Amino acid sequence: MTEVSVAKEDRAANGELVVLKSVNKHFGALHVLQDIDLTIARGEVVVVIGPSGSGKSTLCRTINRLETIDSGSITIDGKPLPAEGKALARLRADVGMVFQSFNLFAHKTVLENVMLGQIKVRKVDKAKAEEKARKLLDRVGVASQADKYPAQLSGGQQQRVAIARALAMDPKVMLFDEPTSALDPEMINEVLEVMQQLARDGMTMIVVTHEMGFARSAANRVVFMADGRIVEEAVPDQFFSNPRSDRAKDFLSKILHH
Ligand SMILES: Nc1ncnc2c1ncn2[C@@H]1O[C@H](COP(=O)(O)OP(=O)(O)O)[C@@H](O)[C@H]1O
Ligand SMILES: [Mg+2]
């Protein structure tokens, strides 16, 4: 066995699931992701925070290839992201994504929203897909809404359906991009509680959020971004009580004392 293959096995044994190496991305002249190195272990919950425009959403979008990168590499479970076709559809299923806007199919019922991907991408038969969808809707607390259309639900309920829909694909990792930012305050906690439970169940999660309570209680690690770079990473306690960079200190003073 060569040294190279031994090194690869060591990494797999460590349980690295998502690995970004020297990732760069431009939008025209704007260098939106600058030499990003980030490794997420299996079962790890990483909260990404940082000022608006720092590249957090773009980072999420590159991980399921909603955006391409200019240089560097991204692997999931040791495999580079596929560029197109069925392999790309499977990747999008492996990487569940929940956005700020709920992105449900408006003309499908809640139940159909959670069944569709299972049938189309995972080739699950209809009865099995329905059984699983009902279980997941129950798990996120909206089982009684199954036959309604998204517009008939509250924002918090719709976001929980969006989480159930992503989970129905048995994703390897879940990405959340400010999942509670568009919600009325009284609905934020019901969504955060579902995410907390998911974290406790061992799901690998990358969560962009300004909910510092969630970061403190659920995150294994906080990644602070500014101007397209990862400026600082630390365990939550250390990050919140003793941020090292001026950028992080400045950011925290703004969000914690407004
Ligand atoms: N599709 C795009 N085309 C051009 N510029 C973009 C695009 N998407 C994002 N940007 C710019 O890239 C920067 C980072 O955006 P984004 O990743 O959304 O940051 P964040 O999520 O941290 O607020 C911002 O300056 C934004 O205006
Ligand atoms: Mg964003």
pLDDT digits (tens, 9 = 90+) for 82-93: 888 888 888 888
Percentage above 70 pLDDT, the chain = 94
**Residue-wise burial string across 24-54, b where 16 or more C-beta atoms lie within 10 A, e elsewhere:** ebeeeeebbbbebebebebebbbbbbbbeeb
213-250 pLDDT, tens digit per residue, is: 999 999 999 999 999 999 999 999 999 999 999 999 99
42-61 mean pLDDT: 97
pLDDT digit string (tens) for 166-220? 999 999 999 999 999 999 999 999 999 999 999 999 999 999 999 999 999 999 9
Cβ pair 234, 49 in contact under 8 A = no
Beta bridge partners of 30: 27
Report which protein residue has its CA nearest ligand 1's atom 8: 58
Distance 26 CA to ligand 1 centre (A): 10
d(CA 66, CA 95): 11
Give 182 Cα–ligand 2 centroid separation in angstroms. 12
pTM, two decimals, is 0.92
Q: How would residue 14 be classed by pLDDT, with cut points 50, 70 and 90?
A: low
What pLDDT, on the 0 to 100 scale, is given for residue 6? 45
If you measure from the C-alpha of residue 18 to the centroid of ligand 1, how many angstroms do you get, rounded to a whole number? 22
Residue 13: predicted pLDDT:
52
Ligand lying closest to the C-alpha of residue 228: 1
Residue reference for tokens 């408006």:
106
120-139: per-residue pLDDT in tens? 989 999 999 999 999 999 99
Say how far apart CA 136 and CA 152 lie, in whole Å: 19
- If you take atom 9 of ligand 1, which residue's CA is the nearest one? 58
- Report the nearest atom of ligand 1 relative to the CA of 52: 23
User: Could you identify the atom of ligand 1 that is nearest to the CA of residue 58?
Assistant: 17
Q: Which residue carries 């959020």 as its tokens?
A: 209
pLDDT, residue 115, reads 98
Q: Are 183 and 156 in contact (CB under 8 A)?
A: yes
Q: Rounded to an integer, what distance in angstroms lies between the CA atom of residue 29 and that of residue 39?
A: 27
- Report the nearest atom of ligand 1 relative to the CA of 55: 17
- pLDDT level of residue 113 (50, 70, 90 thresholds): very high
Collapsed DSSP state (helix, strand, coil) of residue 36: strand
pLDDT of residue 3: 43
58 Cα to the center of ligand 1, angstroms:
6
